[in-house]
Amino acid sequence: MSAVVWVVLLLALGLAVMVLEVFVPSGGVLGFVSIMAIIAAVTTAFLEVGPVAGVVVLAVVVVSVPVVLGLAFRWFPETALGRRVLPAPPEGLEVVPRADERQRRRDLVGATGRAVTELLPWGSVAVGGEQMEAVSEAGPLAPGAAVRVVGVQGLAVVVRPLDTPPSAPRPGPAGEVGDAAHREPDGGLSSTLETFEFDHFHSPGA
């Protein structure tokens, strides 16, 4: 068997054992065998074939080792052993603390409820029969105030007071709109000026 064949066999063996080390961890034994086989291939090329062949084999090793390792690690997670050793990455909600409770809070956006405690702006509200921590978006709210959930902040809901329609103005006795308490009495300003005694305000020279 020629030296070239030995070089090719040793190089192929080294790369194959290197891939095997990735798929079947052996505590470094297969890795050591792989390195020894590759070194033997390069040495044989230099000593038995010639310096040019040795440089060529060395260049092949420098290029092929990273490529082979990259492909091995790329395929490893898709194998049965890889799926056992490297479980699938968790979903985003699984790594968030109390993700299910956070999701329930998001589902309450748009729902209405009432303030259980005074919100300054933090406090407690009851929404859908469940009491939870809340923060008021519009400043302090009194207990019992009707609120609407408009967002979520951590595990607390962000609430806003429900809009109340403005009170309708009361008609006056003659059909005029307004409050009788705010209407000018009969005579108004003119009667006040008529009854005011200007005689007391004579100038000193008069």
Q: Which helix (H) or strand (E) holds 33?
A: helix 29-44
Over range 129-151, report the average pLDDT: 89
Average of per-residue pLDDT across 159-183: 52
Which pair of structure tokens corresponds to residue 149? 């959930």
What integer pLDDT is reported at residue 84 of this predicted model? 58
Q: Say which range, 76-90, 121-135, 160-174, has the weakest mean pLDDT.
A: 160-174
Distance of CA 200 to the CA centre of its chain: 79
**Which of 48-57, 123-132, 135-144, 157-166 is the least confident region?**
157-166
Q: Are 115 and 141 in contact (CB under 8 A)?
A: yes
Whether pTM exceeds 0.75: no
Looking at every residue in the chain, the average pLDDT score rounds to 74
pLDDT above 80: residue 58: yes
Contact of 152 with 133, CB cutoff 8 Å: no
